[in-house]
Amino acid sequence: MFRPRIIPCLLLKDLGLVKTIQFKNPRYIGDPMNAVKIFNDFEADELVFLDIEASKKNRMIDINFVKKVSEEAFMPFAVGGGISNIEQIRNIMNSGAEKVIINTFAMENPLLVKEASEVFGSQAIIVSIDAKKEKDKYFVFTHGGTKKTRLDPADFAKKMECAGAGEILITSIDNDGLMNGYDINLIRLISNAVKIPVIANGGAGDLDDLNSAIVKGGASAGAAGSIFVYSGKNRGILINYPDKDEIFRKFLIS
């Protein structure tokens, strides 16, 4: 029996926990370390932390923050944000993260993914792809969704798989934060293009959306932000995670 991973994807701005809508207007949610403690209690499968300003400001995610998460988190976690070289990856891994997430610099320097997978193993390297649809065609965006490339996300995913990436994290910029469901077509395009695990992200409003990303989109795991930090239609702040029985009823696949 197979149960897909359910992963809170947590965004950082100035070391505070925030949530965006279509990659814009970050709303302060609270202390990320408090969220880690709560997700410990809920026994979350994994955590993802993304510094949304790192690439734009030409820096990497704060290494002291990574160390603090490592000291507190009971579950595996991955971090991303401005990671551009092997030494940074080594420092992050030595600070306790199980995986690193590379976005902008995977596009700018694909050899980084190749070298990183050779040094640390493919299982430790996630390539994050942020995609936006324009005139019925998807394009890859970098630098926190602010810079458009001419790259097709499915083609880029194939290239990253060949380079040695162990997983692809695909995020729909259009659906981010809206809680109206994933872009299933986008997820399916990526899942059909590669053989490595695909993590769907961007748009989940409930567990049914997560299930659709896996059953209909072919994703191996579902990541989300809003449903794990908000409660109700008015989006009151509440760190939460489904209980184990609910997850097994919804997601256990034979």
Could you list the active site residues? 130
- Nearest to residue 110, comparing CAs of 148, 62, 159, 74? 159
Is-contact 47 12, C-beta < 8 A?
A: no
- From the number of C-beta atoms within 10 Å of its C-beta (0-12, 13-18, 19+), residue 147 rates as middle
